[in-house]
Structure 1
Amino acid sequence: MKYLNKPLKKCLGFALALLLSFTLILSSGSATYASSIQRDYKANVMAPLGKITDWNTFKKQLITLKNKGVYAITTDVWWGDVESKGDNQFDWSYYKTYAETVRASGLKWVPILSTHQCGGNVNNSDSNSDKEINIPLPSWLWTKDTADNMQFKNEKGKWDKECLSPWWSDIDKQYDELYASFASNFSQYKDIIAKIYLSGGASGELRFPSYNKPLGWNYPERGELQCYSKAAISDFQNAMETKYNNISKLNSEWNTNLTSFTQITPPTDGDNFFINGYKSKYGKDFLTWYQKVIEKHLSNIASKAHEHFDSVFNARIGAKVSGVHWLINSPSMPHSTEYCAGYYNYNTLLDQFKASDIDLTFTCLEMDDSNAYTKPNYSAPKSLVINVANLAKSKGIKIFGENALTISNNNQSYQNCAEMLYNYDFSGFTLLRFGDLLKSDDPTNSELNSFADILVKKPVPVTFTLNNVNVKDGEKIYIVGNGWEMANWTTGLYPSQLTYKGGKATATVYLAEGRNYEFKAIKKDASGNVTWESGNNQSYTVPTGGGSYTWNFNK
């Protein structure tokens, strides 16, 4: 946020602040300053997990969001609630009251058909409370078939009921009934339903439940493969028989001596597989098959959704892919966390999104690559987001963003989201979660103001130029400004954005189109004393498409 002369670029540590908050940096030396955010970009907010009990207060809160420029409220519609009484015994009354309240507020509504369990995972508690929300899948489901057919079984033999196994033969029938009932009951709300999300697996994401705390996983462990049920093993064997036709050909490719396809198993030692075996022909075949399971699942649920929703709501359908960012650069088992979740090849995964005509939402936009090459994380979320976003663009897939963890009192995280959104063709963003923006102990809604200034309204590039600049070692230059509804002056620009050559300093930031800002330039000596400032604060209304502003630095 500060203009610094080159020798002082190491002074970045405290650089974040609330105002010129659309600053976007890819990396020092590779910043992109030509916004490619989609013209129809919109910002949404994820609703509380638990049930609303005070509808009047909730309506007022929604109106507050609407007045800040938020487009829609995104809501989990829990299968465990609406069909809890029995097979095909639906009760939508709560969510109809919900939809009426959203309509009265002026916001749009984005329901998530949440066919996963709430409870036991990250972000499964409501903001401002330590109370975890627990909503299991309908209990009657588990009487339909055996655990081997309906549940996931991991490497260690533990069973998982967080979501239904895609290997269960009746899963499509259950989703078909749920989708049909939703379409029938909510057709009268098509005026407010802007989009419908499909839960594709654990935490509502298209993935295997590979990292699950109640089953013993801890960050940043790789998690567990989830294909050790009889149904999963049989599917793997059948897929390999279809591919190779005869066991001799498979043995030749895998360098094995099997006598039957029934001897094929998933990896028997997960750690050894991810250290030594995943690059083998067997490893590639296994990981390709493992991902194709969730690709096929997406194809099936998308087909059912299009069948029931397209003619009723005329709204886009979306699904979410988790930003599984840790261990990407692990020296011993790189990408193992992604592979356990089912993400082996993002290129073919996104091909399925395209084939299924499904919008993609990707998470972890708030993070950076600060732990990319250090123990124990080896985490590269920023690089991962860029990779997936570029793939989506190349395939003509609409991509939307979301934070993976709560953002609160952390403008750096907002800035990281902005950098991704406004440079990689994102069509929208959903903030996780509602309660962080509207806190009872924050009567001025400062968190909501920060969110609104940085991520809600479409930004445009604004270039600031200082002429006749003369900066000595130890001196610093700032562009400062009071942001929308911000009372105090605060630093505005990142040092690495500064282009300083021949006495001219130039920087480009992203600001909310049509909003009023005030700015001035300041020079401080090595002791932090102000030795020059631009004089009267200059007020600007950011024009359509952006603008350029110039000062003569005269001291």
Structure 2
Amino acid sequence: MLPLDTVRASGGGLNRKKAMNVSLQALKSAGVEGVMVDVWWGLVEKERPGSTTGAATPSSWRWPPGMASKSRPIPLPGWVVEEIDRDQDLAYTDQWGRRNYEYVSLGCDTLPVLKGRSPVQCYADFMRAFRDHFAAYLGSTIVEIQVGMGPAGELRYPSYPEMNGTWRFPGIGAFQCYDKYMIGSLKAAAEAAGKPEWGHGGPSDAGNYNNWPEDTSFFRRDGGWSGPYGEFFLSWYSQLLLDHGERILDRASAIFRELPAVKISVKVAGIHWHYGTRSHAPELTAGYYNTRERDGYLPIARMLARYGAIFNFTCVEMKDYEQPGDAQCGPEKLVRQVAQAASKAGVALAGENALPRYDEGAHEQILQTAAKGGGGGGGEMMCAFTYLRMNPDLFQSDNWRRFVSFVRKMAEGREPHRCLEQVEREAEIFVTTTGLPMETAVALTRQ
């Protein structure tokens, strides 16, 4: 992944062009096959609807852009924010009335609330403009498009917002279903179920962002999540997220259908904290109806499989024992479950690391997970791995040496025919005979 500030927030254009060129050459020489960069809706269609501006022409790299609509460091387009200011129910809303401007609420996906267009129409027009602008590069330079599905580009609700200290790890988060559009959908679902009293909002006993499951009546061991109301609410909440993903993928599939060499991928968040509890509360508030009694990732995998999309999952570098024990984190178990769901649905699985890591322990965990389908034989070998992220720290001498060795071991793992110790020795020789890393690190730190 390229740095988040690769593109200037004001006026677009690349930051540190010379440093970027040096950095890319260093990565290429190390064996990296491509880079991923965010294509910000807030820059491309910044001024007014339909005013898409040209982005930088890519080089001869494999370049899978993530078409995400993220708020940091670049917010939604100004004209979208104006519409949300006029009708604040276009923003995700929690039970305390806090609004989140990071992504337009999926409750109004199909309604013409953005100057005569629906949010899904806006996303489709954005993808279509991207396709037309980069037509000459699609399938050769640009080989994968990660379609933004929600906050940080991920298919989820913004249930754990870190801005302003609202949420802190390992809090359970909060349901995001209190804008009028989501409430309208909930009321209709409750009436259809013959339980109109269930249609007034989410569970009132689900605690707040920084509670733990056992602090709440709803998420505790035998809480409301496992009862009839809990099953109704969580089914509705998670199904709306799946429906949103289906709508976006349907448009993306149609727009890029004539480009078989371009893969579409979707990112799903690796919410591993409190995974060891019965309710899996943080996953539930994010929209993944995954509990000890129910697989919440198989429906997502099957939805992606219908469109031939890649299931991109994070936290691949994490080990269970590295996490706070009292939070019952289970990143390894979670990755295995997702790998098994992907295998069962017949969808390709790709991975990312959740946090910047430069140590051999994290690299080894990634190697094992990528090669063994979730680290425990849970599925097929991962089809790709994206490393987070290119920055000055990566090019520091020891980090760079370990990274080069890691990249080459990943390549060997795909077609193993040589001793990995030999690969490591060759990486060591490569690093000692090139002067790129320090030059690159210094260049990246200069504005």
TM-score normalised according to structure 1 size:
0.65
- Tell me which residue corresponds to 2:444: none
One-letter amino acid of the counterpart of residue 314, structure 2: T
Q: Secondary structure at the match of 2:407?
A: helix
CA contact (8 A) 1:69 1:457 kept: no
The partner residue of 1:220 within 149, 167, 170 is 170
Q: Distance in 2 between matches of 1:153 and 1:213?
A: 15
Instruction: Give 1:485 deviation, angstroms.
Output: 2.9
Instruction: Give 1:311 deviation, angstroms.
Output: 1.5
Q: Does 1:153 align with 2:93?
A: yes
Q: Secondary structure at the match of 2:25?
A: helix
Change (3 A) 1:263 1:206: closer
- Tell me which residue corresponds to 1:173: 121
How is 1:235-250 mapped onto 2 (pairs within 5 angstroms)? Answer: 235-242=185-192, 244=193, 247=194, 250=195
Q: Does 1:112 align with 2:66?
A: yes
Deviation string 1:372-398 (CA, Å, 9 cap, x unpaired) is 7921x2100001001110110111100
Q: Secondary structure at the match of 2:363?
A: helix
How is 1:388-403 mapped onto 2 (pairs within 5 angstroms)? Answer: 388-403=338-353
CA contact (8 A) 2:31 2:408 kept: no
Change (3 A) 1:230 1:452: same
How is 1:443-462 mapped onto 2 (pairs within 5 angstroms)? Answer: 445-459=400-414
The answer for unaligned runs of 5 or more in structure 1 is: 1-45, 119-133, 251-259, 465-478, 488-555
What is the alpha-carbon root mean square deviation over aligned residues? 2.5
- Tell me which residue corresponds to 1:367: 318
- Tell me which residue corresponds to 1:268: 204
The partner residue of 2:148 within 189, 192, 199 is 199
CA contact (8 A) 1:148 1:230 kept: no
Instruction: Give 1:312 deviation, angstroms.
Output: 4.6
One-letter amino acid of the counterpart of residue 168, structure 2: N
How is 1:3-42 mapped onto 2 (pairs within 5 angstroms)? Answer: none
Q: Does 1:339 align with 2:284?
A: yes
One-letter amino acid of the counterpart of residue 442, structure 1: S
Instruction: Give 1:261 deviation, angstroms.
Output: 5.5
Deviation string 1:335-389 (CA, Å, 9 cap, x unpaired) is 10111111111122222112233211000000011167921x2100001001110
- Tell me which residue corresponds to 1:413: 362
Deviation string 1:235-270 (CA, Å, 9 cap, x unpaired) is 11212333x2xx3xx3xxxxxxxxx46854211121
CA contact (8 A) 2:313 2:349 kept: yes
Change (3 A) 1:444 1:292: closer
Q: Secondary structure at the match of 2:96?
A: coil
Q: Secondary structure at the match of 2:127?
A: helix
The partner residue of 1:74 within 36, 53, 67 is 36
Q: Distance in 2 between matches of 1:373 and 1:89?
A: 47
Q: Distance in 1 between matches of 2:132 and 2:335?
A: 37
Deviation string 1:165-201 (CA, Å, 9 cap, x unpaired) is 1112211111121111111111011221111111111
How is 1:288-299 mapped onto 2 (pairs within 5 angstroms)? Answer: 288-299=235-246
The partner residue of 2:74 within 130, 135, 140 is 135
Q: Secondary structure at the match of 2:218?
A: helix
CA contact (8 A) 2:310 2:347 kept: yes
Q: Does 1:351 align with 2:302?
A: yes
Identity across matched positions, percent? 27
Change (3 A) 1:459 1:349: closer
Q: Distance in 2 between matches of 1:189 and 1:454?
A: 29
Instruction: Give 1:229 deviation, angstroms.
Output: 1.3
- Tell me which residue corresponds to 1:90: 52
Q: Secondary structure at the match of 2:189?
A: helix
Q: Distance in 2 between matches of 1:87 and 1:203?
A: 22
- Tell me which residue corresponds to 1:317: 264
CA contact (8 A) 2:253 2:307 kept: no
Instruction: Give 1:453 deviation, angstroms.
Output: 3.5
Instruction: Give 1:462 deviation, angstroms.
Output: 7.6
Q: Does 1:434 align with 2:384?
A: no
Change (3 A) 1:485 1:202: same
Runs of 4+ with >6 A deviation:
none
Q: Distance in 2 between matches of 1:47 and 1:136?
A: 18
- Tell me which residue corresponds to 1:27: none
> Greater helix percent: which structure?
2
Q: Distance in 2 between matches of 1:263 and 1:337?
A: 22
Instruction: Give 1:298 deviation, angstroms.
Output: 0.8
CA contact (8 A) 1:414 1:455 kept: no
Q: Distance in 1 between matches of 2:260 and 2:132?
A: 11
Instruction: Give 1:206 deviation, angstroms.
Output: 0.6
Q: Distance in 2 between matches of 1:389 and 1:112?
A: 22
Q: Secondary structure at the match of 2:325?
A: coil
The answer for unaligned runs of 5 or more in structure 2 is: 8-13, 112-117, 207-215, 290-295, 374-380, 430-447
Number of residue equivalences: 387
Greater Rg by CA: 1
- Tell me which residue corresponds to 1:486: 428
TM-score normalised according to structure 2 size:
0.81
CA contact (8 A) 2:320 2:332 kept: yes
> Greater strand percent: which structure?
1
Change (3 A) 1:343 1:436: farther
Instruction: Give 1:456 deviation, angstroms.
Output: 4.1
Change (3 A) 1:284 1:371: farther
Q: Return the structure number with greater relative CO, CA threshold 8 A, min gap 6.
A: 1
